[in-house]
Structure 1
Amino acid sequence: MRQTLRSELSGELYELLNGRDLETKQHEAMMLLTVTEEGWPHTAMISVGEVIAVDAKRLRLAIWPDTTTTNNMIRTEKATLALVYGGAAHYIKLALRRLPELSGAKYPRERFEAEIISARSDVAVYADLTTGIQIDLKDKSSVLERWRETLTELML
């Protein structure tokens, strides 16, 4: 296993999370890991329509309110984003800051700004990672529209 450790997103991950061309990225999904009050890992799914790269060192996330994930993020101010993309497994440690509620949001979410603490990529020398978590949207046009609105609101 060959590992690369950085303090910012690679160009490839920045391109994935830049909020543009959602039609071509609609199948990509990631795992968002947090820690419960009991100290157990908690995993949730997140899509490219719920996370946007502000720049190579900062992300913003839109998370459904009143969930275990949201409560963990508020309490610990930490999370890890895990995904398989571009033939590598990526693990991005995040320091979180809760953003103010956006009044009049079309799709109310808890919003967080995340500083990238570390971004680690693993590539297996003996095998190629071909896919990560992938999804098929049931109502593509309405979901893509919701994602666009959500990402726009994250940047406010």
Structure 2
Amino acid sequence: MTPHGSHEVLPAEVADQLEGRPGLDAREQAFPLLTADLEGFPHVALLSRTELDVTPDRQRVLAAVASRRTASNLLRTRRATLVTVGGTTAHYVKATLTGHRTDGEILGCELTPVAVLADSLGIPLDPISFRTSAQIAHVEHWDRTTALLTSLASTFGETR
């Protein structure tokens, strides 16, 4: 864990996994974002690359959270853990909420890593995945989410 007020470097592998937008009819990773509920138990929300990005300096994670429970947990505790899987490694990014704003019912977040663990036994891992579709894009308001993340990148993009 880094000292209070500082942050951990976001690994390039994690930034690479979060950047970009998925196309339609593509196999995509679903990224677990863990927060703590009112009783202190883990609450999991699955986010796609449509709902995640990194700041231009690739040091912080941007998230568009539509789940009211996840948003409430984030605003209350200001903490979350993001899990990514690639190749033989799972990354656990513990982060604090360092900036946010809302767009209707979607909470736009800037998450600053405070600890990052790369976990590997050297065996291939299969991430949680799903196939994208026009229906998912419509139901999850990918157009609004993309616009919010683009706006967040310009707002929170400066190096701190």
Alpha-carbon distance in structure 2 between the residues aligned to 1:147 and 1:89: 26
Alpha-carbon distance, 1:7 to partner: 1.9
Unaligned runs of 5+ in 1: 1-5
Secondary structure of the structure 1 residue equivalent to 2:102: coil
Alpha-carbon distance in structure 1 between the residues aligned to 2:148 and 2:15: 19
Question: Judging changes above 3 Å, is the alpha-carbon distance between structure 1 residues 52 and 31 closer, same or farther for their aligned structure 2 residues?
Answer: same
Answering whether residue 111 of structure 2 is matched by residue 114 of structure 1, we say yes
Alpha-carbon distance, 1:150 to partner: 1.7
Query: How many pairs were matched up?
Result: 142
Q: Which residue of 2 aligns with 1:91?
A: 92
Unaligned runs of 5+ in 2: 1-6, 152-160
Alpha-carbon distance, 1:77 to partner: 0.4
Alpha-carbon distance in structure 2 between the residues aligned to 1:21 and 1:40: 31
Secondary structure of the structure 1 residue equivalent to 2:145: helix
Tell me which of the two structures has the higher relative contact order, counting C-alpha pairs closer than 8 angstroms and 6 or more residues apart.
1
Which amino acid is the alignment partner of residue 126 of structure 2?
T
Alpha-carbon distance, 1:48 to partner: 0.8
Q: Which residue of 1 aligns with 2:51?
A: 50
Which amino acid is the alignment partner of residue 74 of structure 2?
M
**Equivalent residue runs for 1:132-151 within 5 Å:** 132-139=127-134, 142=137, 146-147=141-142, 149-151=144-146
Q: Which residue of 2 aligns with 1:131?
A: 126
Alpha-carbon distance, 1:79 to partner: 0.2
Cα pair 1:93 1:118 within 8 Å, conserved? yes
Secondary structure of the structure 2 residue equivalent to 1:118: strand
% identical aligned pairs: 27
Which amino acid is the alignment partner of residue 122 of structure 1?
D
Cα pair 1:84 1:129 within 8 Å, conserved? no
Cα RMSD after superposing both structures? 2.6
Alpha-carbon distance in structure 2 between the residues aligned to 1:122 and 1:60: 23
Q: Which residue of 2 aligns with 1:3?
A: none
Normalising by the residue count of structure 2, what TM-score does the alignment of the two structures yield?
A: 0.76
Secondary structure of the structure 1 residue equivalent to 2:148: helix
